[in-house]
Amino acid sequence: MFVGDIMLSRSVGEKMKKENNWRWPFLEIADYLKEADLVFGNLEGPISDKGKKTNGDFSFRADPKAIEGLKYAGFNILSVANNHIGDWGKEAMEDTFKILKENNIGYIGGGHNKQEARSFITQKLDNGTKIAFLAYTNLVSRYWEAKDNISGIAWLDEKQMKEDIEKAKKQSDIIAVSMHFGEEYNIYHNKVQQFFARTAIDNGADLVIGHHPHVIQEIEKYKEGYIAYSLGNFVFDQLFSQETTQGLILKVLVEDKKIKDLEPVKIKISNSFQPSLIFGR
């Protein structure tokens, strides 16, 4: 299962503290997520108590205790390739890598150096299928791009992405690429999104998952692959519109080591920041 943007700070963080429950955002959805062989999402901001604000009022940073909720909900892999992972500087970003690793949650799209940031993670399903995960963004200053010996994110670059997919193909059956791209609050994808998503498919990816717009965008079948341009929000405090309080869980059915079908499942985020299935079980 793939979900959208997960933001565990600001009003969401305050609610968890008020309820004295770090599992709070996931109480209505965790059982459903746990039915999947694996669960993937975008972690919108660091989990740390370190660092200094770099992005003013829009600087996200979740309490380290919030990791309990992610573990409870069954997350296996999170993308950190986004425009908020550096909100509290590189110290908080690197601390996030450490906390995720200590809690056996894989992270992609970021790392202590360029090699780690561009590396794929492979997960083996119960049926033996190996799925490789990669993640990228181009929505931040290139200051945040990981260098040879400098931590940062994996920059969304056509040439580099092709090279990374080629490496992943040698060790996996299915390749899923997460991209943090597009325009906020726009329900339609743009030409830049289409270019990078289709380029990934053209070069061997089987699935592209989009994050960042905070609203649901189109899902398309392209050649032999699938593109979900934006899954919208999953846990967020953007309660100002219907579009920002709805998102998708993308269920991916795998058979014979290939993607057989996709099932988009709609979720609704409550006023207390808890996602649940719109149509129930």
Distance from C-alpha of 216 to C-alpha of 128, rounded to nearest angstrom: 31
Distance from C-alpha of 274 to C-alpha of 258, rounded to nearest angstrom: 33
Give the residue carrying structure tokens 């006023």. Answer: 271
Half-sphere exposure of 114 (CA within 13 A, CB side): 12
Distance from C-alpha of 262 to C-alpha of 219, rounded to nearest angstrom: 10
Distance from C-alpha of 250 to C-alpha of 216, rounded to nearest angstrom: 11
CATH number of the domain to which 204 belongs? 3.60.21.10
Whole-angstrom CA distances from 158 to 166, 222, 235, 242 are 12, 18, 30, 34
Helix, strand, coil percentages for the chain (3-state, nearest 5): 25, 30, 40
Longest dimension (CA), the chain: 49
**b/e for 222-235, b at 16 or more Cβ within 10 A?**
eeebbbbbbbbbbb
Distance from C-alpha of 19 to C-alpha of 93, rounded to nearest angstrom: 27
CA dihedral 170, 258, 131, 127 (to 10 degrees): -110
Alpha helices per DSSP H over the chain: 10-19, 30-33, 67-72, 89-102, 114-117, 158-169, 191-202
**What tens-digit pLDDT sequence spans the chain (281 residues)?**
999 999 999 999 999 999 999 999 999 999 999 999 999 999 999 999 999 998 777 899 999 999 999 999 999 999 999 999 999 999 999 999 999 999 999 999 999 999 999 999 999 999 999 999 999 999 999 999 999 999 999 999 999 999 999 999 999 999 999 999 999 999 999 999 999 999 999 999 999 999 999 999 999 999 999 999 999 999 999 999 999 999 999 999 999 999 999 999 999 999 999 999 998 65
Total domains in the fold of the chain: 1
Is 237 in a helix, a strand, or coil?
A: coil
Query: pTM of the entire structure?
Result: 0.96
Whether the Cβ atoms of residue 29 and residue 277 lie closer than 8 Å to each other: yes
Q: What is the extent of the structural domain holding 43? A: 2-277
